[in-house]
Amino acid sequence: MRRFLKPVLAALIACSATSGLAQSRAVLIADSVYTEGHDRLIASGHVEVFFQDRHLRASRLTFDQSLGRLSIEGPIILNDGDETLILADSAELSQDLQTGILQSARLVLGQQLQIAATEINRVEGRYTQLYQTVASSCEVCVDNPIPLWQIRATRIIHDQQERQLYFDNAQFRVMDVPIFWAPRLRLPDPTLERATGFLTPSLRSSSRLGLGIKAPYFIRIGDHRDLTITPYFSSRTRTLELRYRQAFHNGDIEFTGSFTNDDLIPNATRGYLFGSGSFDLARDFELNFNLETVSDKSYLLDYGYSPNDRLESNIQLTRTRNDTFFNAEIIDFKSLRAAEDNANIPGLVANVEWNHRFVPGVLGGTAEVSAELFAFQRASNVNGDLGRDMGRFSAHLNWRRNWVSNNGIVFGLIADGGADYYTLADQAPGEQEGLFYNATLGGEVSWPFAMTNYRGIRHVVTPTVQLLWTDTNQTGVPNEDSTLLEFDEGNLFALSRYAGSNVYEEGTRFNVGLTWSRIGPSGITNTLSAGRIFRDQDYAQFTAGSGLTGAQSDWLLAYQLQTPQNITLTTRALFNDQLDLTRNETRISWRGERLDLGSTYVWLDAAPAENRLAVSEWTFDTSYRFNDVWTGTANWRHDFQSGELANAGLGLTYHGECVKVDLSVSRRFTSTAILQPNTSYGLTVSLVGFGASGQARGASRSCIN
């Protein structure tokens, strides 16, 4: 018969007054509890002891009050908090379970790392000494008792307070084959998130840099700061990579960078520095900054740090509330493109904008008032496009109101107007500055209606017609902020297809569109959108290749399919009356139980005004999970205009219960005046069980009894 002793025998495991824990109590559960003499208590059969955050389970327990010792017979299971578990055959422990010796024991940390030992010696609940040890996070089976990797040591000391493991005479083995030996070794236990020490090294091979190794070293400066130093050595480079992070009470910062001496550019120091930060300020303001700089145009791609071909550094102050938005920003641009001279692009840009939304008391609807100050500067002093500087102040007011009739027709009225003041420097002849105005009036009618047939298929059709008229006296202002034009379902009913304020879409125009959705009971959803713009005349505002030229724009067609089988198809196309495509983008993807597929095709007609040749590209990406631990990936991008691959890559990942291995190979085929084709290989091996920031535990092996 099980007995529950409560409030629990002070003579059993309640700590004495000399221990400073006289008020602590323990709970004992056992099938049988009896005493021998005046100072011995014996419990047997499913013995359980609960004391503070420790839980002991055993088959038999003997407490000697005169010695203050517990003699415990196993199998023993001792949980010391949530992260430490000890298994043993027998033990002699103090009454608070913090000091003593356990025989034929095993220590499990963070449910990951297991350390088997002939003997475990616990000291005051902080230090645990293990003798003749084997440490591993791999599953060990009876039919295959050799783990994939293990660390053998004559002694391991676990400091539970500092959460560190100290190895004496450590030998690292893979499949029981010795790999290296160290007289002393210190590693963080799985519960420690941040600790000074080496991180997982990686191998990298490049056709331009040769075979190299990266060995990162993490330095914990404090609870809120750290520094990672990564030497990178190969036959052609000596590089030191750095990462610094710091958290504040209202934000954080992070900087990454490197310094390099290599054979690609002899006798030169190369490097880069990226930084970012974000801070919450008073009165809902937020401060953000971003820093990007590099020594030369090819460095980032040579070392694989970033694919960006334009760098942006900025500092930004914003505030967003329910009805008001404020943004102030200064941006510095640097181009890494071989054909671009940084002196001839707008390198320094400043922008301040304010936007407020409100409900007019008399007119009703929704109104929005905005003001913007925008300026940029080129380093060049050449007149015209290569050296022009510009400043602009804009103020705009927008109003819209909708009415819904009894039969569901939605009527809307639109009014928009504003003024822009421009100042120019280094402008070309004929370019004007001064005050310009613009005004837009319009109306919109849409009639959404729905039906459901006898099979439960729901159809929703929404035709929309929008009539707009815009007038402006803005002539002679150079177009700097609307050079790239887009026409899609997102801006079919926009007041202007121009993204900026240097140019406004003028004249009278009808924007006509139709959206149809089909929602099936099985979960299949189809959405089709079509539309076109009709103008009273050709205002010759838009450039070739945009799909917007002429009195009528190209036809717009967009379609999306989604299925319960995780198949998604999205396509968007522009075509003229002769059904000739001017733009097309199609993406199809499927996510299965093991196989993921994705493919995108892009066709863009040439746009000389945008300095863009015709584009015809096909990209493909896939991953396949061979089983619970092996995953393969592949990707490539093919340029049909050049008739060759632009880049391609293969990857193979093994993620078991105690190790993760990433193997990759990639090839960049394109070449420019500053870049050469390059092939890179990568290998990273990560061991599970050291540090909480390491790799998560993967699928475990199944043991066959």
DSSP assignment string, 347-359? -EEEEEEEEEEE-
Are the beta carbons of 618 and 600 closer than 8 angstroms?
yes
Backbone φ, ψ for residue 303 (5° rounding) = -105, 0
pLDDT in tens, 42-88: 999 999 999 888 899 999 999 988 888 899 998 999 998 888 899 99
Domain assignment present for residue 270? The answer is: no
Q: Are 456 and 474 in contact (CB under 8 A)?
A: no
Q: Distance (Å, rounded) from C-alpha 552 to C-alpha 532? A: 7
- pLDDT band of residue 696 (cuts 50, 70, 90) is low
**pLDDT reported for residue 24:** 57
Classified as helix, coil or strand, 19 is helix
User: How many structural domains comprise the chain?
Assistant: 1
Residue 492, C-beta contacts closer than 8 angstroms, at least 6 positions apart = 511, 513, 529, 531, 533, 556
Which residues in 249-388 belong to E strands, given as ranges? 251-262, 270-280, 285-294, 310-320, 324-335, 348-358, 366-377
User: Does some domain include residue 8?
Assistant: yes
Mean per-residue pLDDT, 535-555: 92
Return d(Cα 351, Cα 500) in angstroms, integer. 13
Residue 79 φ/ψ, nearest 5 degrees: -95, 115
pLDDT on residue 204: 86
Could you tell me the residue range of the domain that residue 56 belongs to? 3-190
- Is residue 136 in some structural domain? yes
Rounded distance between C-alpha atoms, residue 72 and residue 632, angstroms: 50
Q: Which of 76-80, 184-188, 492-496 has the lowest mean pLDDT?
A: 184-188
Which stretch of 129-133, 486-490, 686-690 has the lowest confidence by average pLDDT?
Answer: 686-690
Q: For the chain, what is the total number of helices (H) and then of strands (E)? A: 1, 42
Please check whether residue 164 is in contact with residue 187, taking contact to mean a CB–CB distance below 8 angstroms: yes
CB 493 within 8 A of CB 512: no
Q: How much is the mean pLDDT over the chain?
A: 89
The two structure tokens encoding residue 299: 């460095």
What are φ and ψ of residue 300, in 5° steps?
Answer: -60, -40
Cα 288 from Cα 292, distance rounded (Å): 14
Supply 69's token pair.
């010792």
- Omega of the bond leading into 7 within 30 degrees of 0 (cis): yes
User: Would 18 be classed as within a structural domain?
Assistant: yes
- Between 7 and 512, name the one with better pLDDT: 512
Maximum distance among all alpha carbons in the chain? 113
Q: Is the link from the previous residue into 266 a cis peptide, with omega within 30 of 0?
A: no
**Percent of the chain scored above 90 by pLDDT?**
66
Pure H helices in 237-350: 299-303
- How many other C-beta atoms lie within 10 A of the C-beta of residue 459? 14
Q: How many CA atoms lie within 13 A of 183 on its CB side?
A: 0
For residue 143, the model assigns a pLDDT of 60
694 pLDDT above the threshold of 70: no
Between 84 and 329, name the one with better pLDDT.
Answer: 329
Residue 28 to residue 319: CA distance in whole angstroms: 59
Q: Which are the contacts of 615, defined by CB distance < 8 A and separation ≥ 6?
A: 602, 603, 604, 641
For residue 90, pLDDT over 60 is answered with: yes
pTM of the model: 0.81
Q: Is the dihedral of CA 258, 261, 263, 266 positive or negative?
A: positive
Report if residue 36 sits inside a domain.
yes
**Distance (Å, rounded) from C-alpha 215 to C-alpha 231?**
6
Query: In the beta sheet, which residues pair with residue 253?
Result: 246, 277
| Assigned domain for 592 exists | no
- CA torsion, points 449, 453, 456, 459, in degrees to nearest 10? -30
- What whole-number distance in Å separates Cα of residue 127 and Cα of residue 120? 10
How far is the C-alpha of 661 from the C-alpha of 591, rounded, in Å? Answer: 23
Q: What is the spatial distance between Cα 166 and Cα 159, in angstroms, rounded to a whole number?
A: 8
DSSP 25: -
Q: Which amino acid is at 338?
A: A
**pLDDT per position as a tens digit, 333-380:** 999 988 889 999 999 999 999 999 999 988 999 999 999 999 999 999
Alpha carbon 389 to chain centroid, angstroms: 37
Q: Are 679 and 656 in contact (CB under 8 A)?
A: no
* Nearest-angstrom CA–CA distance, 241 and 258: 4
Given CA atoms 191, 194, 197, 201 in this order, what sign does their dihedral have? positive
Query: Could you read off the pLDDT of 625-658 as tens digits, one per residue?
Result: 999 889 999 999 999 988 889 999 999 999 888 8
Looking at the DSSP bridge assignments, the partners of residue 367 are: 358, 399
74 found inside a domain: yes
* Residue 299 falls inside a structural domain: no
Three-state DSSP at 431 gives coil
Average pLDDT for 393-420: 96
Q: How confident is the model at residue 433 (pLDDT cuts 50, 70, 90)?
A: very high
Q: How big is the CA angle at 702 (ends 697 and 705), to the nearest 5 degrees?
A: 145
Where would I find the H helices in 211-320?
299-303
